[in-house]
Amino acid sequence: MRPLIAYMLKSYSTSQRYFAPVAATIIFVLLLYTYKPNPVMSSYAATGILLFIGCAWMGISFLNHEQAVLRQITIVHMRSSVKYNLGGILTLAVLTTVLSMLVVLYPVLTGNFAEPAGLYRLTLAFAGHLLLGMLGVSISLYLQAAWVPKASYATGLLLIILIVSISSFKLADFIPGPVVPVLLPPAALLMDVLTHADELPPAAVLGTFAHALIYILLLSAFYLYRSGRMDYGRHL
């Protein structure tokens, strides 16, 4: 699996398709910290949501960067389309981890916070960013060209899902019951937990993190299950 991840990272970085989503995420984070001092956890909640959007965008650009014929060859060398797709998810996880670390450490290293962040809050912030980033990635899995061939449809769907996810508290007011909290990506929940992390008991924070992790794992597992039954023709 390691050679596949190394190949995917090299292939993606050489394609330069990473530039737009990564640059956009970094620019918005820099803009957010233009003024100082900033509150610790509220700032992290805001950058977490930026990472959620940036990683979803990066996910789509990554999953579409390899041409169909090259993908066919890589799958044959890997001897399994499921392993190939798992390699894609793990590569995105590596990229998301690096971005999360950058986004979490930047305000600490540049002294942008009003008070010391502390190890507990830094750990929570890193875990929250990682989960929000992977949540964006797991949504993007279903919007790549092999699943949604029309780029305009994929972009439209992604925007709708992102907007609905971020505004799920408002939606829950209109649609009572478990539909909104269970079905929609828990981005707003994570943002809320990060914002109020100082007041919430650790069990409540961990519960929300576990909810997001299960959501990500379910989306990824179903994607791998379906991708093992798909055709990999030369026109996808």
Q: Which residues bind another protein (CB under 8 A)?
A: 3-4, 6-7, 10-11, 14-15, 67, 69-70, 72-79, 81, 229-234
Minimum distance of another protein from residue 138's CB (angstroms): 24
Minimum distance of another protein from residue 223's CB (angstroms): 17
Q: Is 225 exposed, middle or buried (0-12, 13-18, 19+ CB in 10 A)?
A: exposed
Minimum distance of another protein from residue 4's CB (angstroms): 5
Complex with another protein: residue 67 or 123, whichever CB lies closer: 67
Q: How far apart are CA 188 and CA 164, in angstroms?
A: 9
Minimum distance of another protein from residue 229's CB (angstroms): 6
Q: How far apart are CA 223 and CA 217, in angstroms?
A: 10
Minimum distance of another protein from residue 65's CB (angstroms): 10
Q: How far apart are CA 136 and CA 156, in angstroms?
A: 15
Complex with another protein: residue 8 or 127, whichever CB lies closer: 8
- Which is nearest to 86 in space by CA: 66, 55, 63, 52? 63
- Which is nearest to 9 in space by CA: 117, 82, 88? 88
Complex with another protein: residue 8 or 139, whichever CB lies closer: 8
Q: Which amino acid makes up residue 67? A: Q
Complex with another protein: residue 37 or 233, whichever CB lies closer: 233
Structure tokens at 21: 């989503």
Complex with another protein: residue 207 or 228, whichever CB lies closer: 228
Alpha helices in the chain (DSSP H): 2-15, 19-32, 40-63, 68-78, 81-109, 118-140, 151-166, 168-174, 179-183, 187-195, 202-227
Minimum distance of another protein from residue 189's CB (angstroms): 38
Q: What is the end-to-end Cα distance of the chain in Å, rounded?
A: 23
Complex with another protein: residue 7 or 147, whichever CB lies closer: 7
